[in-house]
Amino acid sequence: MKRLWLLFAQSVTVLVAVFFVVATLKPDWLGRRPSVASVVPVFEAITSTPAPLTEGVPSFRTAAQVASAAVVSINTSKASTPNPHSADPWFRFFFGDQGRSQPQSGLGSGVIVSPAGYILTNNHVIEEADEIEVVLNDGRKAIAQVIGTDPETDLAILKIGLTGLPVITLGNSDALAIGDPVLAIGNPFGVGQTVTSGIVSALGRTQLGINTFENFIQTDAAINPGNSGGALVDVQGHLMGINTAIYSRSGGSMGIGFAIPTSTARNVLEAIVRDGQVTRGWIGVEPQDLTPEMAESFGIPGTQGVIITGVLQNGPAAQAGIRPGDVITRVAGREVANVAELLSAVAALTPGTRTTLDVLRRDGSSSVEVIPGRRNPPALNGQRR
């Protein structure tokens, strides 16, 4: 009896196992059809098209396409010049026949801002060049004419004679905020047009010792030699600035680049195209930022404004009664809190047109009328990109 029970149990176990295998692998033998729900998910996981890698990630493709066509490469050359000592026999005895200096070449970028062929770039890109060649992104080339330069902002305006030119849209750089994404477009190291991305790191950077009038946009978009004069654009491809300089200990990009705002570039462009030059006001003072110590020393209440430490004899300020120790708080109704703001406000004055300065003195405040003269730009030296 025990053996029969054991045989029965083994037989049932084998039959159950066989049924399970057949039901799983060959359900049609039992008259069953596989469930669609159990097959479709596996099939979809294997054959469905994967989502694009850029899904959910912002792309600057449109901005790059819109702006890149209007960004050009600028090749400059300077012919060799005679050595002034080449006729000296002693010079020739020691140095040989070195009668002429070697030709020089330079590289930079620019931005087409008008269908008439006007191009914005940096002054240091084309400074002292004998020939300037502009190469468009579509491969066309043209020799450029210098319409005018403004060394104090390091801007220059060129013009080429080609037709059907792509033109960039000038944006509102005053609307930029820290953290806004931007693109830098130019021709670094001569490798060809390159687009790099970053954000606005800071605004209103001054006292860098690069230009006389500074109001830089700082960005961490990679800028290298050859990018000078190129475009800094927003996510719509609108021009926000002209790439000008970098902070670097090695000569390469370290994530701190500077661009001249479009608001400044627009004013320079309009003045040069209209008048051939930029005309700025001048009053003949030597200003200095007002510190609490200086305010206490001169008996000035508060620390708002710019203190005058020197006045040019017979200059516009001297003729108006400005004297050392005066603190200028407003120029033509515009508040000034530091030297950079004072220079900018005075430069915006029209030479020969009477204007009002608000002055703070030991004995109180007063308004002084001054007739600004015309500013003569000094020679500039700077390290730029």
The 3-state secondary structure of the chain reads CHHHHHHHHHHHHHHHHHHHHHHHHCHHHHCCCCCHHHHHHHHHHHHCCCCCCCCCCCCCHHHHHHHHCCEEEEEEEECCCECCCCCCHHHHHHHCCCCECCCEEEEEEEEECCCCCEEEEEHHHHCCCCEEEEECCCCCEEECEEEEEECCCCEEEEECCCCCCCCCCECCHHHCCCCCEEEEEECHHHCCCEEEEEEEEEEEECCCCCCCCCCEEEECCCCCCCCCCCEEECCCCCEEEEEEEECCCCCCCCCCEEEEEHHHHHHHHHHHHHHCCCCCEECCEEEEECCHHHHHHHCCCCCCCEEEEEECCCCHHHHHCCCCCCEEEEECCEECCCHHHHHHHHHCCCCCCCEEEEEEECCEEEEEEECCEECCCCCCCCCCC
Stretches where the chain sits below pLDDT 70 are: 1-10, 12, 14-58, 80-104, 248-253, 377-385
pLDDT at 385: 46
Position 2 scores a pLDDT of 62
Which structure tokens are listed for 65?
């396409």
pLDDT at 47: 39
Please report, as a single letter, which amino acid is at residue 135: V
- pLDDT of 125 reads 93
The dihedral of CA 18, 19, 25, 27: what is its sign? positive
In degrees and rounded to multiples of 5, residue 333 shows phi and psi of 85, 0
Q: Can you say how many angstroms the Cα of residue 138 is from the centroid of all Cα atoms in its chain?
A: 23
159 forms beta bridges with 118, 145
Q: Which of 150, 154, 326, 358 is catalytic?
A: 154
| 359 CB-contact burial (10 Å; exposed 0-12 / middle 13-18 / buried 19+) | buried
pTM of the model: 0.72
- Please count the other Cβ atoms lying within 10 Å of the Cβ belonging to residue 243: 30
Alpha carbons 273 and 123: distance in angstroms, whole number: 15
Instruction: Report d(CA 185, CA 168) in Å as an integer.
Output: 12
- Sorted by where each starts, the structural domains of the chain and their CATH numbers stand as 8-47 (no CATH), 61-159 (2.40.10.10), 173-275 (2.40.10.10), 281-374 (2.30.42.10)
pLDDT of residue 275: 87
Contact 219, 199 (CB under 8 A): yes
pLDDT given for residue 9 in this prediction: 66
81, 150, 239, 289, 350 from 153: Cα distances, Å: 29, 6, 17, 21, 18
Which one from 73, 109, 228, 344 is the annotated catalytic residue? 228
- 46-49 LR contacts (CB < 8 Å, sep 24+): none
Q: Which of 73, 124, 253, 326 is catalytic?
A: 124
Q: Is 124 a catalytic residue?
A: yes
